[in-house]
A and B are shown apart, each in its own frame.
Chain A
């Protein structure tokens, strides 16, 4: 690093003294790694929102700026240029600048993780790694890579924004089967998901598969616990990162959840023998800041997410093989 960290620390300390009256609580250090200027600006904006809610120190590691560039913006905001810097140096600088007692959250906003030494160095020792598998790739390449990486590194304390975004859809699908329709949940024969990008769709499919004990079979087919085929189709439709509709078909009924973007609601309808009054559920698409917040609050050890990711990975692998 060509930046003097001692100088940065003195700057931070000076800012801290100026506003020490305001800083009563620190909840974490957020380390943000960015490699794209435009996405980096967007990320900064969201992190500012988050930092406004959760007092924390933010360390932005900017891969677009040279090693000699740095900026101390306020008591708890520091930016370092890391273009060309060695992974070990970056990790060491992060260690020096983080708050000593508070947990560290790593936001990795870059293309690729497999074989990326910087990622490898930075994530060890942090409490949560926040990744967004649909930010840089609307296809399922990043998700496939992530599933494989987690398969080799099961202790990675990962949260994926693409998965967290699914909460209202998971809720709506759960509601379908809360009552007497529960038995039909184990009789599903088909799943159709329309989404603007693939990671969200495959995460939702992986979640269903993991919860219901379905196994990947081939491109377009899963097998349920009894070996009965469950057909699936993932269709690209609408804006990236937004699910448009999910349709679940049993032998007797069709359960459909459909987004209405204008009104931010999910319209839920059931046709066939389990006919049910129409219902609405708020989507309330949370912003990135809120999703990162959710990732941080959920912390590590989300078993349901881990199982969903593994199932999504298996489904993608089976599709590739067949």
Chain B
């Protein structure tokens, strides 16, 4: 329950989404994710006034710090990763800093979790955090079950005076079996209503706008079905290689790293029916229905519905870059895909027969995340020969790097001849509203503090997404691809993807 419902001064305030007082514990607080994303997100909330005034942050990791040293570490990281006008200084930083503490820990030893328990009790007394505890798992995934078991052993799985919630970073498992094992470990300790499986893509403003675009307008919904839509392309393309993550990525690959979670989540949002309300479970019910309507392919069908690729040396942004197998911590004969494409069908009344093409890859020529809905061609061409070139309408929901919506439609070229050409109506959040979208992690951490699970993935959807990709994963894992590397860095991706679907939107 939010405080807005009981405090009459809260009604109508511009900042209504402020959570109850709480302590947030970051497991893995000496890691990359914490310093680059999580800490800046929380400090930015402090600066924006969206963090509860009664708040405390506890870092919990193996690296040895005392409280003062960890505060200094946090200050140094914020100085690096926050913009110039949001530096850690002045009374807001001092107030934030005095609420930071640290537990140097071994995740396998319950004694450190008892120390954490003491620390949280002290926070409750010192900072009036009300016994509300948010545990954020930002460690490598193999440690998750260990942490959860120790939290229970230390009696931290529930609070006598407040709420306890747990945020689980992606990836949620590395395959169906490991995801189920992780779920078993978590649900043995925490009920589903307290589990927040994070997919930071869902915190991005344009992803949230998909629902608004579809269900806050009347003009799209009547044509959002098999009668008008020819196909849907969902793309998540990166120019980056594996950077420092070669070791992790070589075990994961594009299908696990991007398609199984981010891209399939986008598909669910695009294809779902209108929820009966904006309540978290009403939306998540509809998303799950979409995924449950996608039949996993058989092993025999894998090659007709999927394509994979691995980048070789090439050029990005005018500079030469090495191939995947030359990256650090990557096996020189790696069979891991850096590009994955799938063709899926949602077997429902609305979408029967409409293919959904999903692709994600590294070292592609442009960083693009988008959903392109291509409509069917006009039924009759009465403009004569010049209308051969009439292109179908395309509605593009742009997620990265531009955020917005564009619509391609046909218009007559001024003049006596009947020439028709495509024109683009373009809406960008940057120019439409002139405000930067808040970073995804800020939104998601705030939602977890508030107890709003809408933008977090429910277990049934995670499990179903794994079921959809499992046959592909299994066949790919068991089949060495001797054509690797099969696309040059900076190119449009492997030819096999074009064979799967010849009309990919050009990156």
* Residue positions of A touching B, CB distance < 8 A: 24-25, 27, 52-55, 167-168, 170-171, 173-175, 177-179, 182, 185, 208, 211-212, 260, 263-265, 267-268, 276-277, 279-282, 284, 294, 298, 302-305
Contact = CB atoms under 8 A, between A and B. Distances in A.
B88 interface: no
Interface stretch (B1-9, B281-289, B451-459): B1-9
Contacts of B3: 174, 178-179
A59 B427 CA distance: 23
B7 A185 contact: yes
B53 interface: yes
A53 B434 contact: yes
A178 B434 contact: no
Nearest to A213: B8
Nearest to A278: B95
Given A179-B21, A263-B91, A170 B427 contact: no
Given A24-B425, A54-B433, A167-B15, 17 more contacts: A24-B428, A25-B427, A27-B432, A53-B435, A55-B431, A55-B432, A174-B3, A174-B10, A175-B18, A179-B54, A179-B128, A277-B127, A279-B95, A281-B53, A282-B46, A298-B14, A303-B12
Contacts of B9: 170, 173-174, 177, 185, 208, 211
Contacts of B53: 175, 268, 279-281
13 contacts: A53-B433, A54-B433, A170-B13, A171-B13, A175-B53, A178-B7, A178-B21, A268-B53, A277-B126, A279-B53, A280-B53, A282-B48, A294-B14
Nearest to A298: B14
Contact of A280 (B11, B13, B92, B126): B92
Q: How large is the interface on B (under 10, 10 to 19, 20 to 34, 35 or more residues)?
A: 35 or more
A178 B128 CA distance: 11
Nearest to A172: B53
B130 interface: yes
B7 A177 contact: yes
A185 B53 CA distance: 18
B90 A263 contact: yes
A18 B15 CA distance: 41
Contacts, number: 101
A305 B435 CA distance: 25
B127 A178 contact: no
A191 to B, nearest CB: 13
B426 interface: yes
Contact of B54 (A260, A277, A294, A304): A277
Interface in B108-131: 126-128, 130
Contacts of A208: 9
A252 to B, nearest CB: 17
Contact of B20 (A55, A178, A284): A178
Contact of A174 (B7, B21, B92, B428): B7
A284 B45 CA distance: 13
A305 B126 CA distance: 36
Interface in B429-465: 431-435
A182 B7 contact: yes
A211 B4 CA distance: 13
Nearest to A307: B12
Nearest first, the 4 A-B pairs at minimum CB distance are: A53-B434, A304-B12, A174-B9, A279-B53
A33 to B, nearest CB: 23
A280 B55 CA distance: 11
Interface in B321-349: none
Interface in B397-451: 425-428, 431-435
Given A24-B425, A277-B128, A304-B11, A182 B92 contact: no
Contact of B8 (A25, A168, A212): A212
A24 B7 contact: no
B49 interface: yes
A139 to B, nearest CB: 27
Contacts of B48: 282, 284
A25 B54 contact: no
